[in-house]
């Protein structure tokens, strides 16, 4: 969801004269929406700007994003960052499977609370 929101806002900024670059982990969601420039890091959701605590890589990623701002001359420009997740590729098979529930325990309760809040706001005509 946050990849979609960031893409929608990015489109609006582009429409109004502000060049943007989206740094993303969920490439398909951003491409489905359609943005001017996307730097894709093939990393788990949560690390779209480089691996945690890898300052060198984060610096390189931001530099790639800057370079896209300087060089892209058409919308839907996607650059694939040449980084490989250091802990292997297993997460790609396991994400959103029964083996690795997306939300559980407290997270799930929090998610359900937010859903209920939304429902009640909607019922009150506030959204």
Partner 1 sequence: MTYVRYIDKTREYYQSQGYDKPYKWAHFDDVPFSQLTKPLTECRVALVSTGEVVVKGLDLSEDENQMGNVGGVYSIPADTPEERLFSASHSYDKHATTLEDVNAFFPAARLREAVAAGRIAGITEQFIGVYNAYSQRRTLERDAPEVLSRLREDGADIAVMVPV
- Contacts (CB under 8 A) with partner 1, residues 24-63: 24-29, 32-36, 40, 42-55, 58-59, 61-63
112 binds partner 1 (CB under 8 A): no
Q: C-beta of 104: minimal distance to partner 1 in Å?
A: 9
C-beta closer to partner 1: residue 58 or 79: 58
5 binds partner 1 (CB under 8 A): yes
Q: C-beta of 109: minimal distance to partner 1 in Å?
A: 10
Q: What is the number of alpha carbons within 13 Å of residue 93 lying toward its C-beta? A: 3
Residues 6+ apart with CB under 8 A from 61: 23, 39, 41, 49, 50, 81, 83
81 binds partner 1 (CB under 8 A): no
Q: Give the C-alpha separation, 36 to 39, whole Å.
A: 10
Q: Give the C-alpha separation, 122 to 89, whole Å.
A: 41
Q: Give the C-alpha separation, 55 to 46, whole Å.
A: 16
Size of the site for partner 1 (CB under 8 A): 85
Among 73, 82, 123, 125, binds partner 1 (CB under 8 A): 73
């Amino acid at each position: 969801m946050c990849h979609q929101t960031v893409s929608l806002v990015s489109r609006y900024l582009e429409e109004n004269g502000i060049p943007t670059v989206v740094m993303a982990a969920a490439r398909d969601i951003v491409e489905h929406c359609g943005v001017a420039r996307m730097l894709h890091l093939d990393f788990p959701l949560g690390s779209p700007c480089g691996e945690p605590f890898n300052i060198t890589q984060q610096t390189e990623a931001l530099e790639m994003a800057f370079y896209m701002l300087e060089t892209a001359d058409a919308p839907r420009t996607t650059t694939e960052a040449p980084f490989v997740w250091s802990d292997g590729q297993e997460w790609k098979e396991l994400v959103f499977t029964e083996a690795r529930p997306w939300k559980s325990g407290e997270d799930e309760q929090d998610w359900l609370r937010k859903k209920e809040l939304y429902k009640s706001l909607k019922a009150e005509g506030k959204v």
